[in-house]
Structure 1
């Protein structure tokens, strides 16, 4: 078993949560999301982001609008919907439960 494969799967598992969190801050352009995710070492490939954004939009969790750009073609800016905000709140609860559970398991393992 390769460590890198497991690490990639762990990052993919929290990608949707991270994207919704970024979008929840306000209108955001996809390349800005990609930059933040890459900087945080969550994701490094653009081909993963756009299909996920499409799935989130089809699920009614995010929406987008086109904004004209002075430096090229119009840009798509994403926003979170009210359903997306509720979904994100549930994900935050789940995340905190996972962090607590994992920390407990790690602590128990180190004490033996």
Structure 2
């Protein structure tokens, strides 16, 4: 069984887009915001985060700009592009449909979907 901090494949991009849409921030801050918003359930390490940020930037969904951090270090700040806003809306809608369908399957009463032995013999 997966650990609570394992992300469903494909959701990291959606989560990053959502967090960066809140305000421009640097990579480490993105990871911290995800952790904070999820009450420590979602923890993204640099080995997953930075390749995802790079990929989103290559797709034109986010842009980066070198700035000084709160600690006066030069870091890349990421912000959402117009294409990123559209992608966020599209991906959020897709996630809603997917998670809704998964919930229906998981929460379905067993009897509703059971086939009787006679039904199975006919099929």
State the TM-score bracket (shorter-chain normalisation). Answer: 0.7 to 0.9
Q: Secondary structure at the match of 2:2?
A: helix
The Cα of 1:104 is off from its aligned counterpart by 1.5
- Provide structure 1 residue ranges, at least 5 long, that are not aligned to the other structure: none
Give CA-to-partner distance per residue, 1:23-73, whole Å, 9 cap, x none.
011111211111133343223421211111011001100001111347343
Is the counterpart of residue 36 in structure 1 residue 33 in structure 2? yes
The structure with the largest alpha-carbon Rg is 2
2:24 is matched with 27
- Paired positions, count: 108
**Correspondence 1:1-112 to 2 at 5 A:** 3-4=1-2, 8=6, 10=8, 12-39=9-36, 40=38, 41-69=41-69, 71-108=71-108, 110-112=109-111
Structural RMSD (CA): 2.3
Q: What is the alpha-carbon distance in structure 1 between the residues aligned to residue 7 and residue 58 of structure 2?
A: 24
TM-score, with length taken from structure 2: 0.75
Task: Write out the 4+ residue segments of structure 1 that deviate beyond 6 Å after TM superposition.
Answer: none
